């Protein structure tokens, strides 16, 4: 059975569910507003586009608020299978023309489907901690790509959570979602309005605090981590909040042997996080 026949059969099977909409429909406008970060977004909705993103949505059972697709852009058996899955599992389904779809797509080569999903924000009480828990604190980071990269590292290293202080980038930013390669869906993110509150929580729960600071005299590989550990990293523009700098905080740096005086924050965080992970002997999840 060729693609056109399969597509026709799908549209016929779900014709009662599918609603065809145009450029002025509120759902199309909502997608544009989320991408452009216009208006309020109390539900922490984000836009997921393309084959890879929808494979992750399905794999991780991410709640989908509504699904938009363009029949003429479904070009492969893989995308047709994803379309069939989304049509069977999603309550709110909308079809649009290629012209309308191009106004909301973030890609040069469009895969033909977009979902609006809800991003979960955790509270500290939601975390399940162990003796070897590691948390990374992102203080004042602006670049969504860097945050996504760090989330990807934390997923790879089996880090327990990412804390956000002095937030300058929204977690629903398309670049953050894309650069995280799906990690944003599984790593718990906890937001703190105040660095002092974050520091207080970490200390109260037995975390030794390590601050990545290029001025530190001691290099990261000289440390032996033997308790719950929290790594604080900040942006080059804002630095790290002074409230993290207390007598019990440990400063560490990465040796720079060339002409540059520092690394990109995503790269630096990756180096230190994996060193912490190895030295603390974090267990590999039993289901892997």
How many helices (H) and strands (E) are present in the chain, helices listed first? Answer: 9, 11
**Average pLDDT of the segment spanning 233-238:** 84
Indicate whether 160 pLDDT > 70.
Answer: yes
The domain 3-118 having CATH identifier 3.30.1330.30: the answer here is yes
Portions of the chain given CATH number 3.30.1330.30: 3-118
Distance of CA 208 to the CA centre of its chain: 25
Boundaries of CATH 3.40.1280.10 in the chain? 124-280
pLDDT in tens, 8-61: 899 999 999 999 999 999 999 999 999 888 888 888 899 999 888 898 888 888
What's the chain's average pLDDT? Answer: 90
Mean pLDDT (whole number) for 216-240:
91
pLDDT band at 288 (very low <50, low <70, confident <90, very high): very low
Strand arrangement, sheet containing 18-20:
18-20, 93-95, 64-69, 113-118, 45-49
C-alpha closest to that of 164 among 189, 127, 197, 128:
189
Q: What is the pLDDT of residue 236?
A: 74
Helix axes 77-89, 3-13, angle to 10 degrees: 0
Kindly report the pTM of this predicted structure. 0.85
117-143: per-residue pLDDT in tens?
A: 988 889 999 999 999 999 999 999 989
Fold designation for 124-280: Alpha/beta knot (3.40.1280)
């Amino acid at each position: 059975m060729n693609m056109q026949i399969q597509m026709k059969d799908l549209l016929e099977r779900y014709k009662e569910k599918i609603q065809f909409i145009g450029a002025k429909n509120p759902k199309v406008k909502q997608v544009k507003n989320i991408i452009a970060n216009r208006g309020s977004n109390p539900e922490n909705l984000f836009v997921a586009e393309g084959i890879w993103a929808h494979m992750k949505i399905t794999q991780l059972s991410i709640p989908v608020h509504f699904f938009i697709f363009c029949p003429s852009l479904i070009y492969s058996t893989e995308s047709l299978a994803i379309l069939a899955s989304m049509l069977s599992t999603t309550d709110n389904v909308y079809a649009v023309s290629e012209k309308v779809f191009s106004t909301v797509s973030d890609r040069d080569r469009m895969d033909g489907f977009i979902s609006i999903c809800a991003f979960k924000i955790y509270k500290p009480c939601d975390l399940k901690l162990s003796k070897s828990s590691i948390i990374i604190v992102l203080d004042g980071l602006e670049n969504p790509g860097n945050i996504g990269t760090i989330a990807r590292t934390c997923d790879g290293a089996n880090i327990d959570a990412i804390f956000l202080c002095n937030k300058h980038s929204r977690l629903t930013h398309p670049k953050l979602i894309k650069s995280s390669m799906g990690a944003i869906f599984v790593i718990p993110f906890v937001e703190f309005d105040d660095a002092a509150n974050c520091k207080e929580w970490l200390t109260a729960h037995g975390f030794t605090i390590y601050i990545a600071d290029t001025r530190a005299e001691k290099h990261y590989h000289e440390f032996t981590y033997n308790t719950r550990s929290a790594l604080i990293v900040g942006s080059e523009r804002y630095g790290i909040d002074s409230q993290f700098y207390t007598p019990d905080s440990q400063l560490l740096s990465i040796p720079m042997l060339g002409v540059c005086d520092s690394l990109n924050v995503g790269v630096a965080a990756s180096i230190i996080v994996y060193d912490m992970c190895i030295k603390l002997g974090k267990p590999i999840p039993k289901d892997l």
